[in-house]
Chains A and B, each alone.
Chain A
Amino acid sequence: MDPTIKDFESATAELDTIVRKLEEGDLPLEQSMVLYERGLQLSRFCHAKIEEAERRIELLNERGELRTAPAVLGLGGGDEEGAKPR
Chain B
Amino acid sequence: MSDLFSQPFEEEPPDESAAVLKPAARRRILTVSQITAAIRSAIESQFCDVWIEGEISNCRVWHTGHIYFTLKDEAAQIRAVMFRAASHYLRFKPEDGLHVIARGRLGVYDAKGEYQIVCEHLEPKGVGALQLAFEQIKKKLKAEGLFEQARKRELPALPRKIGIVTSLDGAALRDIIQVLRRRHPNLHLVIRPTRVQGEGAAGDIVRSLRAITKVAGVDVVIVARGGGSAEDLQPFNEEVLARAIVASPKPVISAVGHEVDFTIADFVADVRAPTPSAAAEIVVAAKDEFCRRIDALKMRLDAAVRAQVQRRRHRLHVLSSHRGLAGWRATVATSGRHLSDLTHRLRTAATVQIARKQQRYRTLRLALESRDVRRRLAAIRGRVGAADNRLRSAALRHRDRADARFRVLAGRLETLSPLAVLARGYAVCWNADRTAAIRRASAVGRGDMVRVTLHEGELECEVRKAE
Q: Which residues of A contact B (CB under 8 A)?
A: 8-9, 12, 15-16, 18-19, 22-23, 25, 27, 29, 32-33, 36, 39-40, 43, 46-47, 49-61, 64, 66, 69, 73-79
Q: How far is the CB of A68 from chain B (nearest CB, A)?
A: 11
A76 touches B297 (CB 8 A): no
Partner of A54, one of B158, B188, B293, B301: B188
How far, in angstroms, from A23 to B193 measured CA to CA in the complex?
A: 51
A53 touches B211 (CB 8 A): no
Q: How far is the CB of A52 from chain B (nearest CB, A)?
A: 8
Q: Mark B156-168, 1 if CB is under 8 A from A, else 0.
A: 0111110000001
Q: Mark B297-316, 1 if CB is under 8 A from A, else 0.
A: 11011001100100010000
A12 touches B297 (CB 8 A): yes
Residues of B within 8 A of A54 (CB): 186, 188
B187 touches A55 (CB 8 A): yes
B214 contacts the other chain (Cβ, under 8 Å)? yes
B189 touches A58 (CB 8 A): yes
Residues of A within 8 A of B304 (CB): 19, 22-23
Q: How far is the CB of B193 from chain A (nearest CB, A)?
A: 6
Q: How far is the CB of B273 from chain A (nearest CB, A)?
A: 17
How far, in angstroms, from A12 to B298 measured CA to CA in the complex?
A: 10
A76 touches B177 (CB 8 A): yes
Residues of B within 8 A of A55 (CB): 185-188
Q: How far is the CB of A81 from chain B (nearest CB, A)?
A: 9
B186 touches A78 (CB 8 A): no
Taking A53-B187, A56-B189 as known contacts, 6 extra A-B pairs with beta carbons closer than 8 A to each other, sorted by chain A number, are: A22-B305, A32-B308, A50-B290, A69-B191, A73-B177, A76-B181
B158 touches A49 (CB 8 A): yes
Partner of B308, one of A15, A22, A56, A60: A22
Residues of B within 8 A of A75 (CB): 177
A50 touches B191 (CB 8 A): no
How far, in angstroms, from A64 to B287 measured CA to CA in the complex?
A: 28
Q: How far is the CB of A80 from chain B (nearest CB, A)?
A: 11
Q: Mark B173-211, 1 if CB is under 8 A from A, else 0.
A: 110011011101111111111000000000000000001
Q: What are 19 sample pairs from A and B whose C-beta atoms fall under 8 A apart?
A: A16-B297, A22-B304, A32-B308, A40-B301, A43-B294, A43-B298, A50-B290, A52-B158, A53-B184, A55-B186, A55-B188, A59-B193, A60-B191, A69-B191, A75-B177, A76-B177, A77-B174, A78-B181, A78-B182
Q: Mark B205-225, 1 if CB is under 8 A from A, else 0.
A: 000000110110000000000
B396 contacts the other chain (Cβ, under 8 Å)? no
B291 contacts the other chain (Cβ, under 8 Å)? yes
How far, in angstroms, from A39 to B185 measured CA to CA in the complex?
A: 27
Residue of A nearest to B300 (CB): A19
B189 touches A78 (CB 8 A): no
3 closest A-B pairs by beta carbon, nearest first, are A22-B304, A76-B178, A76-B177
Q: How far is the CB of B213 from chain A (nearest CB, A)?
A: 11
B298 touches A53 (CB 8 A): no
How far, in angstroms, from A21 to B174 measured CA to CA in the complex?
A: 47
Residues of A within 8 A of B192 (CB): 59-60
How far, in angstroms, from A83 to B191 measured CA to CA in the complex?
A: 18
How far, in angstroms, from A33 to B308 measured CA to CA in the complex?
A: 10
How far, in angstroms, from A54 to B168 measured CA to CA in the complex?
A: 21
How far, in angstroms, from A76 to B164 measured CA to CA in the complex?
A: 15
B173 touches A73 (CB 8 A): yes
Residues of B within 8 A of A22 (CB): 301, 304-305, 308
Residues of B within 8 A of A15 (CB): 294, 297-298, 301
A60 touches B211 (CB 8 A): yes
B308 touches A25 (CB 8 A): yes
Residues of B within 8 A of A27 (CB): 308
Residue of A nearest to B189 (CB): A57
Q: How far is the CB of A24 from chain B (nearest CB, A)?
A: 9
Residue of A nearest to B291 (CB): A50
How far, in angstroms, from A12 to B158 measured CA to CA in the complex?
A: 12
B308 touches A50 (CB 8 A): no
Counting chain A CB atoms within 10 Å of each CB, the highest count among B191, B305, B312 belongs to B305
How far, in angstroms, from A47 to B301 measured CA to CA in the complex?
A: 15
Q: How far is the CB of B46 from chain A (nearest CB, A)?
A: 52
Residue of B nearest to A73 (CB): B177
